[in-house]
């Protein structure tokens, strides 16, 4: 394979316009690596193969094996050595091939990367972005679809980002790479190629910790993130058409720290809230958002906050997953019930 | 540095039948029937692998990792085992599992995207493992349990060359050694871990050498030589059953196909390798051996493969005719007893199933 | 050392009366091992040394090395082999020397033990009890004090138990060992020897998934577990004495599945709730309890549910930990504020 | 089985100075000043260890793991390194860290139960690691970074015999080998992992043998022989700096004390072992060597240890006089910038601190 063949259109120099999320992430990685010599990438099959989803396609050819390298098959080794890379002045972007395999490197993520600053009294830091795809609706084998973001709320020292569209993915990734602390960057496989979006060619940065109001409304707020944003929008549209209700949809974008200000302001306005995620319900992002609403604006609440989530079981086999994941139907039920007086 | 320990030269792979089908070692003492059953099992492995790939292309199966080229490594490990023995392997080990007694139809359900069917007994084979390397620890634990209970059973843990880099696989070797577990740990070195060649997976010249640092005797074997694999496994099983502890076996073989139906090996793999390994095909080699000794002929082999084809097709037909498992099943297999919350969640799913059914009826 | 010397009073045959939590757990382990041949124990330093806290003292001498054995220093190996032991008909009780090191074996716990039943369609199961000490207030080195229970809410297939006193510890452990599914059994180091309690010598079983009303009340409910139960009782006493308020204190005992019935019934009665745990706030048990209250009895709530928890930082160094952990003072503040109209 | 790979016989430990203080190998080429500095560093290690144990008994320090008996293993690894080199060790490595340049007072704060003090620069030594074995991967990553950046730095990862069972340590060996990292991995085999003797930690006869299966050259060294440890480390450092990749060093030594101040080794350890190892004490042996060569005498040694005692006492006095770190610090070291929530939580802590202060004032 020649270098030319291996270069993805998105990483060539034509002005980009409509990009898939894969292309947007690839572009963002390229721009950040060009900008900052310290950025390096490591992981399984990210080099020659360009990643199992081609997210890193062409980057090894462009930046060389010194800065984009394949590792042995060992997730703890990937994160553990990335910690050393980060402490010694680089900005590593380790990829875990599927987020479910972060559990293999869990100690290195939560006891090591997340705590190096704390443990050393601020002397050493671990700026790194741990990228990993995840998410249902694509009929993957076991452990490839599981949502992991909720687990990281109980393990302080990490930020967690999860974009819902190509534009956000590019800007949030830039912010994550710039961030002085470790960031988990989760990519919904379902969104990788499902739609294209206008993405400016130049670099831009979307701040971490800020939710986005995707659709304004005054009667009820739906909080979602990742692939569940479009599911929520569809449900909101259905119910609005039926009932005329004005529904706000908020894309949380950063799972930690959650944007409490935006969450609170919206529920103070609407008085009703539905939270949607793929992850199981127990102890998930939805529980924390509910607790935040309870703490900050209980008196504005007209109805219980509803959680529409994956069920409290492991993520099921491909043939059973459609009814595990929140559907527009289930979200619409929750919206309708929450709108009732 | 004077007394630096350098990697010792390892013996070249143990071989009984070279790739020209000639005997170069002492074959195991097997009846013609047994030899034929090994050939049959290798064909069944290849044909089922091809079948599932075809089904995947037609949308009738989920992602699948073909194992064409690895039939001797699979069958040679599975065939010598006894019913009470245990096996824990990855997605690529359907050949070893079938040789151990798992039925064609039981895999089909899994690769079609369902949990293993209720009726299947598993034949002491753990569900195929997706999280690379973890199952080798399970195998060692199964073996330790057999020893604790005084059972006459051993356990086999199989993983790939890539898996050997995972901490778990190394911990498994160590536990096996420390507890003298009646276990066999098999490294099926098929040259690649997706796009990572074996040479970049570790700088040790062989994976068998890993045994040294854990005090586990190990052997490097031509994994495309069914007789060598069978004999080595049999002897390791005897050792284990006699209380002499674990053995590590590295099987040198080659993944002739893509990593999975989602992979494109032309992106990373030189074509010449395929040529090299095609000449070392495990089935052709053993076929020549059987033909040369008049144990099998063209006609016999045709009957054999036709029977396998029928068996596979019938199994496919059977499983595809079964009513699909309800997604509600998830509430019954999370815990032995669903929690009150799972019961309430089941009601939500039933409501959704009912609405879908009603909608479909409306359409019909 | 002779066997006699090595045997703890609690495991000899005199009728036991007042026991520490260590003695109660030791007794429970002995009784269960006597009752059921399948029960075996494995872990680091649990055999000859009797565990770093002497919880397993005398058990190897009594039951032999076949049933109580020390392992190499490898947590993933401990849980991974315990899975094999369980599938092959035994009832292993692996000990992780400190709960924070469960993260080293996280994949084996959450992707393997927790899912074997699910993955195999019910064919294979992993009945095992993973025991581990944890908790603050005892000036341990890093990672020895961290609370882990909250993490396991997002990883379905596990039960999580955390006793607050010797009596409960004995009965809950019996239930955990009997349970057909994997159970995480967490032991608060602070409670190990802090007080003794009347514990019947014979075997008894306390059901998993059931909270205990430790003190009845009608004006406000405090939910707590482990060492935070006595902290909460002290705070409740203070405030009751000051204000005359009638405060209910509930010991959750099982973190998963949470006893939603008891939680709901209490808040329906009191209309006010405070939740106390050592673990960080974000995504902890408190978030889920708040969400349960929100879902089941929002209209009974007179004030926001208050969470008094560890701060959202890693568990700090020994000299800084006193103010990290919820104190009676902080709990009393929350009770007072929640009692206000 | 004929070609089974059995564990090869390993050379007996590399030694320069035997336990009678006699030269049995070629000593490294060191000036008398340098030799004295090694002796000084070993004494400082032992005396600081004893001091912290004493402080712990008086409630002035938290749990501590003494390293008496391991001074040569510690100093011999730390002393040959350059300022730009990196080191990652466990709670037991204060000797190696001090030899690398970390100040006495910087440890004191940690063992008193605070985070490392703001002013300390760490001397490229990672914070002492509590989660066994994890730091070896960090060391390999530090070394990989040096190589990527083209720095003239190497990295040393040190762990115990028990730690070698952890998956991470084995993954570290593998990464070091694959990336030819300028790294030294040191297994400080002190015979015990709390109550687990080395012989039960793994069934391999040596830990150095672990290198073979990962393609990492390794060497077994008498860890109580400061000259052997120093020389081996120096040579491994040269190899690493020259681009020749990693080395694994196993140091045979002995933990003369308890595992930590919370441990009672009489529960599990035979007394005879202590006798055996007392005769092999690293300091007495080197002392004899220095005395025999008139590099040091009684008086000189007395001055040396008195100076160390003063240094330690002054450091203790200094740190105990510092105003204690406010618990509020936790909000500033979780992230570079505290999140809004952490800012709110800080206010709660301040309120509590104020109430406590008010109460104490009321009392005063
Ligand atoms: C823990 C973990 N990491 C990564 C993956 C993704 N993955 C699936 S197969 C594979 C390569 C496995 O290679 P090898 O062990 O040689 O087995 P083979 O596929 O060649 O049979 C990888 C990286 C996984 N399934 N599990
Ligand atoms: C991952 C992990 N597991 C368990 C422990 C508890 N623990 C602390 S020290 C120790 C033994 C370590 O032995 P070794 O590696 O030989 O080092 P040594 O203490 O002898 O220096 C154990 C089990 C820990 N700190 N981290
Ligand atoms: Mg392979
Ligand atoms: Mg040791």
Distance (Å, rounded) from C-alpha D188 to C-alpha D186? Answer: 6
Q: State pLDDT tens for residues A109-132.
A: 999 999 999 999 999 999 999 999
Query: Residue C76: its chain D contacts at CB < 8 A?
Result: 167
Query: Which atom of ligand 1 sits closest to the CA of residue B260?
Result: 19
Nearest to C101 by CA among D121, A111, A188, B201: A111
Q: State pLDDT tens for residues D210-257.
A: 999 999 999 999 999 999 999 999 999 999 999 999 999 999 999 999
Could you tell me how many CB contacts below 8 A there are between chain A and chain C?
Answer: 137
Give whole-number Cα distances, C106 to B169, B171, D150, D251, D316, in Å. 15, 15, 36, 31, 40
Distance (Å, rounded) from C-alpha D310 to C-alpha D312? Answer: 5
Of D1 and A257, the structure prediction assigns the larger pLDDT to A257
CB contact under 8 A, A48 and B195: yes
Give buried/exposed letters for A206-226 (b at 16+ CB in 10 A, else e): bebbebbebbebebbbbbbbb
- How confident is residue A16, by pLDDT bands cut at 50, 70 and 90? low
Farthest CA pair distance, chain D: 84
Give the Å distance between the CA of D242 and the centre of ligand 4. Answer: 31
- How confident is residue D11, by pLDDT bands cut at 50, 70 and 90? low
Q: State pLDDT tens for residues B189-209.
A: 999 999 999 999 999 999 999
**CB of B195 within 8 A of CB of B268?**
yes
**CB of C190 within 8 A of CB of C135?**
yes
Residues of A labelled catalytic? 144
Look at ligand 2, atom 17, and give the residue with the nearest C-alpha.
Answer: D160
Nearest to A288 by CA among B320, C307, C50: C307
Does residue A7 register a pLDDT over 80?
no
Does residue A10 register a pLDDT over 50?
no
Task: Give the minimum alpha-carbon distance from A77 to chain D in angstroms, rounded to a whole number.
Answer: 6
- How confident is residue C16, by pLDDT bands cut at 50, 70 and 90? low
Distance (Å, rounded) from C-alpha D94 to C-alpha D111? Answer: 11
CB contact under 8 A, D215 and B205: yes
Contact D254 CB / ligand 2 (< 6 Å): no
Q: State pLDDT tens for residues A27-39.
A: 999 999 999 999 9
Does residue B334 register a pLDDT over 80?
yes
Query: Does the bond joining A242 to the residue before it have cis omega, within 30 degrees of 0?
Result: no
DSSP annotation of C254 = E
Please list, in sequence order, all residues whose beta carbon lies within 8 angstroms of the beta carbon of residue B229, skipping any fewer than 6 positions away.
Answer: B72, B73, B75, B76, B77, B221, B222, B223, B251
Query: Is this prediction's ipTM beyond 0.95?
Result: yes
Does residue C2 register a pLDDT over 60?
no
Give the Å distance between the CA of D170 and the centre of ligand 4. Answer: 16
Percent of chain A past pLDDT 70, that is, above it, reads 95
Percent of chain B past pLDDT 70, that is, above it, reads 97
Nearest to A291 by CA among C222, C286, C333: C286
Contact D192 CB / ligand 2 (< 6 Å): yes
CB contact under 8 A, B121 and C89: no
Question: Order of strands across the sheet with C68-70?
Answer: C68-70, C39-43, C91-95, C129-134, C183-188, C159-161, C254-256
**Annotated catalytic residue within C117, C131, C144, C190:** C144
Nearest to A146 by CA among A136, A154, A137, A131: A136
Q: State pLDDT tens for residues C186-211.
A: 999 999 999 999 999 999 999 999 99
**Annotated catalytic residue within D259, D280, D285, D289:** D259
Question: Order of strands across the sheet with A306-310?
Answer: A212-215, A247-251, A220-224, A273-280, A306-310
Residue C23 token pair: 């003695």
pLDDT of residue B116: 84
**CB of A175 within 8 A of CB of A205?**
yes
Closest residue to C323, CB basis, from D166, D194, D352: D352
Give whole-number Cα distances, B24 to A280, B13, B224, B252, C205, in Å. 58, 12, 14, 17, 65
CB contact under 8 A, C311 and D268: no
Query: Does the bond joining A257 to the residue before it have cis omega, within 30 degrees of 0?
Result: yes
pLDDT of residue A1: 29
Q: State pLDDT tens for residues B25-67.
A: 999 999 999 999 999 999 999 999 999 999 999 999 999 999 9
Is C110 touching A (CB cutoff 8 A)?
yes
Closest residue to C72, CB basis, from D201, D263, D351: D201
Mean pLDDT value across residues C262-288: 98
Helices (H), chain A: 3-6, 21-35, 59-63, 75-87, 106-107, 116-119, 166-178, 189-192, 228-243, 260-270, 285-297, 328-339
Does residue D9 register a pLDDT over 50?
no
Give the Å distance between the CA of D79 and the centre of ligand 4. Answer: 21
Query: Residue A142: its chain B contacts at CB < 8 A?
Result: 130
- What element of type H or E holds A275? strand A273-280
D20 an active-site residue?
Answer: no
Does residue B3 register a pLDDT over 90?
no
Work out the number of other CB atoms within 10 angstroms of the CB of residue A246.
Answer: 14
Task: Give the minimum alpha-carbon distance from C178 to chain D in angstroms, rounded to a whole number.
Answer: 30
- What element of type H or E holds B49? helix B32-57
Does residue D122 register a pLDDT over 90?
no
- How confident is residue D119, by pLDDT bands cut at 50, 70 and 90? confident
Does residue D89 register a pLDDT over 90?
yes
Is A109 touching D (CB cutoff 8 A)?
no
Is C143 touching D (CB cutoff 8 A)?
yes
Q: State pLDDT tens for residues A194-214.
A: 999 999 999 999 999 999 999
Look at ligand 1, atom 17, and give the residue with the nearest C-alpha.
Answer: B160
Does residue A11 register a pLDDT over 70?
no
Query: Which atom of ligand 1 sits closest to the CA of residue A73?
Result: 23
Distance (Å, rounded) from C-alpha B152 to C-alpha B79? Answer: 17
pLDDT of residue D120: 78
Nearest to C111 by CA among B331, A146, B185: A146
Phi-psi region of D294 (alpha: psi -120 to 50; beta: other; left: phi over 0): left
The chain-wide mean pLDDT, for chain A, equals: 95
Residue whose structure tokens are 């013609």: B32
Residue whose structure tokens are 């929640």: C338
Nearest to B141 by CA among C42, D164, D132: C42
Task: Give the minimum alpha-carbon distance from C163 to chain D in angstroms, rounded to a whole number.
Answer: 24
DSSP annotation of B25 = S
**CB of A340 within 8 A of CB of A303?**
yes
- Which residues are placed with Cβ below 5 angstroms of ligand 4, an ion? D 160-161, 190, 193
Give the Å distance between the CA of B187 and the centre of ligand 3. Answer: 9
- Ligand 1 pocket, CB under 6 A: A 44, 73, 75, 97, 101, 104; B 65, 92, 130-132, 159-163, 190, 192-194, 255, 259
Residue D315 three-state SS: helix
Distance (Å, rounded) from C-alpha B88 to C-alpha B97? Answer: 9
CB contact under 8 A, B330 and A324: yes
Closest residue to C107, CB basis, from A103, A286, A298: A103
Query: Residue B210: its chain D contacts at CB < 8 A?
Result: 213-214
For chain D, give the number of residues.
Answer: 364
pLDDT of residue C296: 98
Range of lowest pLDDT (A227-231, B7-11, D96-100):
B7-11
Q: State pLDDT tens for residues B80-113.
A: 999 999 999 999 999 999 999 999 988 898 899 9
Mean pLDDT value across residues A233-249: 98
Taking each helix axis from N to C end, the angle separating A228-243 and A328-339, rounded to the nearest 10 degrees, works out to 50
Query: Residue A81: its chain D contacts at CB < 8 A?
Result: 137-138, 140-141, 144, 172, 175
Task: Give the minimum alpha-carbon distance from B239 to chain A in angstroms, rounded to a whole number.
Answer: 31
Closest residue to D336, CB basis, from A112, A156, A181: A181
For chain A, give the number of residues.
Answer: 341
pLDDT of residue A234: 98
Please list, in sequence order, all residues whose beta carbon lies within 8 angstroms of the beta carbon of residue B205, skipping any fewer than 6 positions away.
Answer: B7, B10, D215
Residue C172 three-state SS: helix
CB contact under 8 A, D165 and C104: no
- CB hemisphere CA count around A6 (13 angstroms): 21
Q: State pLDDT tens for residues B116-135.
A: 887 778 899 999 999 999 99
DSSP annotation of A72 = -
Closest residue to A257, CB basis, from D175, D330, D339: D339
CB contact under 8 A, A77 and B327: no
Is B174 touching D (CB cutoff 8 A)?
yes
Phi-psi region of C139 (alpha: psi -120 to 50; beta: other; left: phi over 0): left
Which chains does chain A touch, 3 or more C-beta pairs < 8 A?
Answer: B, C, D
Q: Measured in whole angstroms, how far is the alpha carbon of residue B80 from the centre of its chain?
A: 14
Residue C273 token pair: 């709730």
Q: State pLDDT tens for residues C106-138.
A: 999 999 999 999 999 999 999 999 999 999 999
Query: Which atom of ligand 1 sits closest to the CA of residue B189?
Result: 16
Q: State pLDDT tens for residues A64-95.
A: 999 999 999 999 999 999 999 999 999 999 99
Residue D39 token pair: 């002796």
CB contact under 8 A, A120 and D171: no
């Amino acid at each position: 394979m020649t270098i030319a063949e291996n270069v993805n259109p998105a990483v060539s120099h034509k002005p980009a316009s409509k990009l898939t999320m894969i292309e947007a992430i690839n572009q963002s990685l390229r721009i950040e690596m060009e900008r900052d010599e310290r950025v390096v990438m490591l992981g399984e099959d990210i080099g020659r193969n360009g990643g199992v989803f081609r997210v890193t396609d062409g980057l090894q050819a462009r930046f060389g094996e010194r800065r984009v390298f394949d590792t042995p098959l060992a997730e703890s080794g990937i994160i553990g050595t990335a910690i050393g890379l980060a402490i010694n002045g680089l900005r590593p972007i380790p990829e875990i091939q599927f987020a479910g395999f972060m559990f293999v490197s869990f100690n290195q993520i939560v006891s090591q990367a997340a705590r190096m600053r704390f443990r050393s009294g601020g002397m050493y830091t671990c700026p790194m972005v741990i990228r990993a795809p995840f998410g249902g609706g694509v009929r993957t084998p076991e452990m490839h679809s599981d949502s992991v973001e909720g687990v990281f709320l109980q393990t302080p020292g990490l930020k967690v980002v999860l974009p819902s569209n190509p534009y956000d993915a590019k800007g949030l990734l830039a912010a994550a790479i710039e961030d002085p602390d470790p960031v988990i960057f989760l990519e919904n496989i379902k969104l990788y190629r499902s739609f294209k979006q206008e993405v400016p060619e130049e670099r831009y940065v979307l701040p971490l910790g800020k939710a986005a109001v995707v659709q304004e409304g005054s009667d009820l707020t739906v909080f979602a993130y990742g692939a569940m944003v479009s599911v929520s929008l569809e449900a909101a549209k259905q119910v609005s058409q039926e009932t005329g209700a004005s529904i706000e949809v908020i894309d949380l974008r950063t799972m930690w720290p959650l944007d409490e200000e935006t969450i609170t302001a919206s529920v103070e306005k609407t008085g009703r809230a539905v939270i949607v995620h793929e992850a199981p319900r127990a102890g998930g992002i939805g529980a924390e958002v509910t607790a935040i609403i309870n703490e900050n604006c209980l008196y504005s609440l007209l109805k219980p906050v509803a959680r529409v989530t994956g069920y409290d079981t492991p993520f099921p086999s491909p043939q059973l997953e459609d009814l595990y994941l929140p559907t527009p139907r289930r979200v619409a039920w929750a919206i309708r019930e929450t709108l009732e007086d | 540095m004077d007394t630096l320990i350098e990697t010792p030269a390892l013996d070249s792979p143990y071989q009984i039948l070279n790739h020209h089908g000639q005997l170069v070692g002492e074959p195991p003492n097997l009846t013609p029937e047994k030899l034929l059953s090994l050939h049959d099992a290798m064909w069944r492995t290849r044909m089922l692998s091809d079948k599932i790939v075809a089904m995947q292309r037609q949308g009738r199966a989920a992602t699948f990792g073909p194992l064409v080229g690895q039939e001797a490594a699979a069958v040679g490990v599975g065939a010598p085992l006894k019913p009470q023995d245990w096996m824990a392997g990855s997605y690529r080990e359907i050949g070893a599992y079938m040789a151990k007694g798992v039925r064609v139809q039981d895999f089909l359900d899994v690769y079609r995207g369902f949990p293993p069917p209720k009726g299947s007994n598993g034949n002491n084979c753990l569900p195929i493992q997706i999280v690379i390397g973890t199952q080798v620890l399970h195998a060692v634990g199964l073996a330790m349990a057999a020893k604790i209970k005084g059972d006459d059973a051993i356990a086999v843990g199989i993983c790939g060359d890539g898996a050997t880099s995972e901490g778990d696989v190394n911990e498994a070797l160590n536990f096996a050694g420390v507890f003298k577990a009646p276990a066999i740990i098999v490294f099926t070195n098929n040259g690649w871990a997706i796009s990572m060649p074996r040479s970049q997976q570790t700088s040790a010249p062989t994976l068998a050498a890993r045994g040294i640092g854990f005090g586990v005797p190990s052997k490097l074997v031509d994994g495309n030589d069914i007789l060598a694999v069978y004999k080595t496994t049999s002897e390791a099983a005897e050792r284990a059953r006699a209380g002499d502890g674990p053995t590590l076996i590295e099987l040198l073989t080659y993944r002739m196909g893509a990593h999975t139906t989602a992979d494109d090996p032309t992106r990373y793999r030189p074509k010449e390798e395929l040529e090299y390994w095609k000449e070392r095909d495990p089935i052709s080699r053993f076929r020549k051996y059987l033909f040369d000794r008049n144990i099998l002929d063209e006609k016999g082999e045709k009957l054999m493969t036709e029977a396998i084809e029928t068996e596979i097709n019938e199994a496919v037909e059977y499983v595809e005719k079964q009513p699909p498992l309800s997604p509600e099943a998830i509430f019954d297999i999370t815990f032995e007893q669903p929690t009150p919350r799972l019961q309430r969640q089941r009601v939500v799913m039933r409501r959704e199933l009912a609405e879908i059914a009603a909608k479909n009826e409306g359409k019909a």
